[in-house]
Amino acid sequence: MYTESIENYLKAIYEIQREKGKVSTNALSEKLGVAPASVTSMIKKLSEKKLLTHKRYQGVKLTQSGQKIALEVVRHHRLIELYLAEALGVPWDQVHEEAEKWEHVLSEDLEDRMDAALGHPTRDPHGSPIPSRDGTIIELDSIPLADMRPGQHGVVAEVSDRDPNLLRYVGKMGLYPKTRVKVVSVEPFSGPITLKVGDASHVLGAEAAQYVFITDVKGNPGEVI
């Protein structure tokens, strides 16, 4: 049994690894909202417990044991998010904060009951993969919407849950997982992107488009839609 603090660190490392690959002390400090000195101290502690490895200039990497713990916490978190959204009707921009409170105390029995009640799901409300009980996780091959070009189209795979305001914003455009989108135009110099979502047209800023991930991308870049 590990402390909530240790589980939070391991989960944060896993999430940064997934997003960026390299996990630096500064990235952990920013994600967890703690001082770099505290991060350094915890990294040393987790290294001694053989939950991670740390090499200078290469950052932090979870060991197999650390990954297993992190995935269990992630599984709890994402199952709770989906249960709150589907069973209780909690909006998708509110489930993350609630799941943060429950993820460390969810019993295995309740975890299994939630999993069964939801039909053994593989994705949470934001499209993020839910690890199985044995730690298997199915990642979709996707790219940020910001990387798409006019003439390309695809399906929303995932929307980052890092910011509730972002979720509310893109939700108003209908950019939910499994939604088909087409890129109509992209303004130069990191300008906004004009999209078709169903029959409606929307304009999305380039920064926000970095956090919407698209799979099954097709079409010829530059093709007029």
Q: Compute the average pLDDT of residues 25-37.
A: 93
Claim: this prediction has a pTM higher than 0.85: yes
Is 80 exceeded by the pLDDT of residue 203?
yes
For the chain, report the end-to-end CA distance as a whole number of angstroms: 55
Predicted confidence (pLDDT) at residue 216 exceeds the cutoff of 70:
yes
| Shared fold status for 4-62 and 142-218 | no
CA angle 212, 216, 218 (to 5 degrees): 105
pLDDT for residue 58: 81
Mean pLDDT of 197-218: 95
For the chain, the structural domain boundaries read: 4-62, 142-218
Q: Which CATH architecture has domain 4-62?
A: Orthogonal Bundle (1.10)
Where are the alpha helices (H) located in the chain, listed in sequence order?
4-20, 25-32, 36-48, 64-87, 95-102, 108-117, 164-172, 206-209
CATH number 2.30.30.90 given to 142-218: yes
Give pLDDT tens digits for 137-190: 988 899 999 999 999 999 999 999 989 999 999 999 999 999 999 999 999 988
Class of residue 62 by CB neighbours under 10 A (exposed 0-12, middle 13-18, buried 19+): buried
Report the distance separating Cα 39 and Cα 196, nearest Å: 43
pLDDT above 70 for 223: no
Of 121, 125, 155, 126, the C-alpha closest to 138 is 121
How high is the mean pLDDT of the chain?
A: 93
Residue 221 has pLDDT above 80, yes or no: no
pLDDT of residue 14: 95
In tens, the pLDDT along 46-78 reads 999 999 999 887 889 999 999 999 999 999 999
Q: For residue 19, what pLDDT is reported?
A: 85
Would you place residue 222 in the very low, low, confident or very high pLDDT band (cuts 50, 70, 90)? low
Query: Does residue 225 carry a pLDDT above 60?
Result: no
Mean pLDDT of all residues in 10-39: 92
| 63-122 tens-digit pLDDT | 999 999 999 999 999 999 999 999 999 999 999 999 999 999 999 999 999 999 999 999
